[in-house]
Structure 1
């Protein structure tokens, strides 16, 4: 194994030393990132509009938690088929169909009349948005060599805080001017327009007329080498992926990251408005601070991980440094409990959200890092994203119930911090060496 690792490191060093030819792949990355941003813009609209929705529809905290959680029931469930289809059908069809679907459903959210309709529409929204991340991971694996994938993954994953952060002032202003229903009409229309643009603009590298041959060769040199390595191994059947400890560790770790992240996407506006008695309009501006911090965290995590790889640090160690360190930083969300003012609370929350996306930059490299063949990248992305979004099922309901009983967010914030620490321990002590999976690997569960 030592000789294999040495050869891998040497090949990585040679790839890192190649000149970077062309930048068109970054234009593709910007288009993918925009799509994820629109995805989260539509997803997070309900969190900003939540106080008004609760008032108009007469929803209690527990019932609201169920409505928020409903999205994740289908979103998590459909990650597996979405990831599989992303590898088979390709990201052009999957991302375009996804944006069109969740855009239409978001528009319909503006017509919700009660709890049942809200739950049904949230279920449909989860189905529509489920292909976004597995398909985006597939785009990165096709358009970027390994030494650039961490930054690329961090960038499209930053669509999460970009969309969520832009959502806060945009939706707050729309609600102030025209009511909460208009916010869903506008954000849904944005998604539909994106779906049309994506369909006409995106192509895979070999089908793109705008990509220079030199850049295509630079991209594919790494992938051809990886494919030769994979061809020398026995192919891992899709179902057997679950036999590997690596896959289960990916699932557990991402669950822990998202348990904290989904607090910001669901209950964060309500927490800040109620705890510190803010108006919705005032929150619309100061509530952007943690989101901005999370954008910086994602790009920082991607740059650090890629820099470590280019300097010769083994991929496994580079990813784990960022994953463990990021989750340790995420746990400071607990300090918000001790914050007497909104300023100190925002400081703790911003550091936590920064650290969360710092870790997530490496999370979305893992499917490409461990996939035995390229077709499995989408499947592995869907598997870990399905597990991570089970946190979206648990977190909103748990926070809603506990807050309804205690009239405080203190206990949920402490629980979130503890979950982050468990995630750090998982990546440090449970996850094996990060390398392509093999059907005969001793890292398989039960081997």
Structure 2
């Protein structure tokens, strides 16, 4: 902590000494809104399907349309954050997705909903890679996993808060359209706040203290890359086998998440005949479990890494164990007959799933150059979210053809097991050295 002590001795500790946590909070608020907006379509799904007479298979196609927009902008948004900075990219993305959240209300047939969902996906795509870039710029290595976990924990919290708020607004107004408009307006206001508070790098911020700047930058001058070299290009990094293994593992995570995100509220309504009032509570419980999982996952692996000196390896094996656990939890869904049992099972599965949520990003940040973090993370996220295209369609088709919701969850369990085992046997990681 030599740099920290020097700043303290020279008195250059004025202004904010914990500005990075304010930046994390603003990023977290945007992620909260991001997933609240994304979860909204799942809550409204039974009512939209009823109004427009959409079958489960047709609705699966509409839901998957989101990922046709989302997937390319995972990479493009991450690449843009490396080139233009996370402040501009996240702010513009937030305004874009908020506008198209509100535009959901003008959908009138299959084609119109598909187009709206694709454009909505354009705005939502950059958020994960831009968040990783922001955290990588603003936090020291020793806090990387915790910061990523805490920031991303706001995504399921968005679902936990957004579900009852959306239901409450539907009950208050008597239709499903007003909540989408409300979320759109809130999103634009959040984006304005982001532009006011956020800066791309700590040294650019007028509120930063010398003490905090020293803490953030400590050790970065020593960072080297054994595998990639300090001058490795983005293309060279993307050729590494570990990138593809992480992407495939993340794909299995994304499959399970999209299955839950797109179909769980409809499953509760159709399979368990839950009413709209109870949906506000039952639909939010798994999201609360996910919030706890995401927040604690990064903290746990940071702590294990500190004790063992094998930070990246701890992230890998936690991911393997948890993905296998989610797969095991999905199987009994074929036998659950009560609402309480279904919600409990899904809450447990989502908790385990989200324990892994920050690990993919942290492994990338600790293994590859920080200057390419947005591009590499965006590329991995894009490949992973191809599951968002396939999973809703396959799940809807399987449910419609078999007449069983459990069969859709079994498919998810198989994908999860393959992703976990691939990372276990082929994902070679080091001890966790951040590279630049």
Q: Indicate the RMSD between aligned Cα atoms, in angstroms.
A: 2.4
Structure 2 residue 358 is matched with structure 1 residue 361: yes
**Which secondary structure does the structure 1 equivalent of 2:385 belong to?**
helix
Matches within 5 A, 1:239-388: 239-331=235-327, 332-372=329-369, 374-388=370-384
Aligned partners of 1:23 and 1:333: how far apart in 2? Answer: 41
Q: Give the count of matched residue pairs.
A: 423
1-side partners of 2:303 and 2:18: how far apart? 19
Match of 1:413 among 386, 399, 409: 409
Is 1:432 aligned with 2:428? yes
Query: Taking structure 2 as the reference length, what is the TM-score of the superposition?
Result: 0.92
Gaps of 5+ in 1: 1-12, 439-447
Partner of 2:385: 389
* Superposition map of 1:19-418 within 5 A: 22-178=17-173, 179-203=175-199, 204-226=201-223, 233=229, 235-331=231-327, 332-372=329-369, 374-418=370-414
Shift of residue 229, structure 1, vs aligned partner: 5.0
Change (3 A) 1:245 1:182: same
Q: Quick check: 1:110–1:183 contact (8 Å CA) kept in 2?
A: no
* 1: CA distance, partners of 2:322 / 2:332: 16
Return the offset for 1:310: 1.6
Offset, 1:211:
2.2
Structure 2: distance between partners of 1:433 and 1:60? 45
Q: Which runs of 4+ in 1 moved over 6 A?
A: none
Structure 1 residue 277: Cα displacement? 0.8
CA shift digits 1:164-218 (9 cap, x unpaired): 1212111111222221111110111111111111011112211222222111111
Deviation of 1:264 (Å)? 2.0
Kindly indicate whether the alpha-carbon contact (under 8 Å) linking 1:334 and 1:416 is maintained by their aligned counterparts in 2.
no
Unaligned runs of 5+ in 2: none
CA contact (8 A) 1:147 1:306 kept: yes
SS at match of 2:107: coil
